[in-house]
Structure 1
Amino acid sequence: MRTAQRRQKSYADHRRRDLEFSVGDHVFVRVAPMNGVMRFGKKGKLAPRFIGPFEILNRVGALAYRVALPPNLDGVHNFFHVSMLRKYVLNPSHVLSIEPLQLSPIMKYEERPIRILDRQERRLRNKSIPMIKVRWQNHSDEEATWEAEADIRTRYPELLGMS
């Protein structure tokens, strides 16, 4: 049993990377969609989301950092574990468009569709499925997704009433 544990630990240690940031580095902070709300048909581990970049103000303990958050996130505690952070590599040609994101105090948000961009029918062997291209809140037109019209009709009936 001990040999198997040692082997599993060696696999885990090989894949783990130790992250360490210094004061002044920029990082992305992880947020998650609200419970029960599906984002692009995926939930849980498949739909992680990072916001930022934010500057690290100082290190607090071995694995925690204090991050400079904007005023619209003043309800969020500004100390984060290293597992909630991703390093941002500064690139002068990288232009960031900061869109206001409504977060709850527990760093979660809800995705809402804004409008329908296009319609089409997907043909299968025996039936056709009406699909609509939906633009989501906090996303650009390039990030719009094709969704089944029946799903959107049940989850967001007000959206189909507008088009």
Structure 2
Amino acid sequence: MEQLTAPAIRKSFINATRSEVAALNLPAGFAELDWDNLDYLGWRDPKMPQRGYLVTPLEGKPVGVLLRAPETSAPGNRRVLCGLCQDVHSEEDVYLYVARRAGQSGRDGNSVGTLICADFVCSANVRQQVPATPIHPDPEAVTAERIAGLRERTDRFLHRVLGR
């Protein structure tokens, strides 16, 4: 992912009001992010924990989405699969994040949701080293396929927010 500035991130949001964008708190360690190993920038707002943000390139420009996180995680030990990285080995919690649709549809109260790793660690999950197996003898090809899948599913979610 191409490195973004704070003003570019704030300008990218498609489903947030000006006051919501003005109240946005950037992630901790923003200046030290490893942009080369991010497929999207995602974080929970440290001052408003029920608010999450996801910013990713779409059709050549950064597009940001304001997300609503659940109040708490569900009790129990039931595991669910992240809809973006689809990492079956991850021990991370997965939450249903909900986004208002962009435009008039969102102002009318319509929203879409998807399951995402609670701490937005999908980029790290798809880059985990995998061992060579008879089915997948080339681990680098498997990693490249997982990265491409993450990007495709993230784009698909953004298109749903846009109503396309």
Which TM bucket (shorter chain)? Answer: under 0.3
The structure with the largest helix share of the pair is 2
For normalisation by structure 2, the TM-score amounts to: 0.24
Pair member with larger Rg: 1
Structure with the higher strand share, 1 or 2: 1
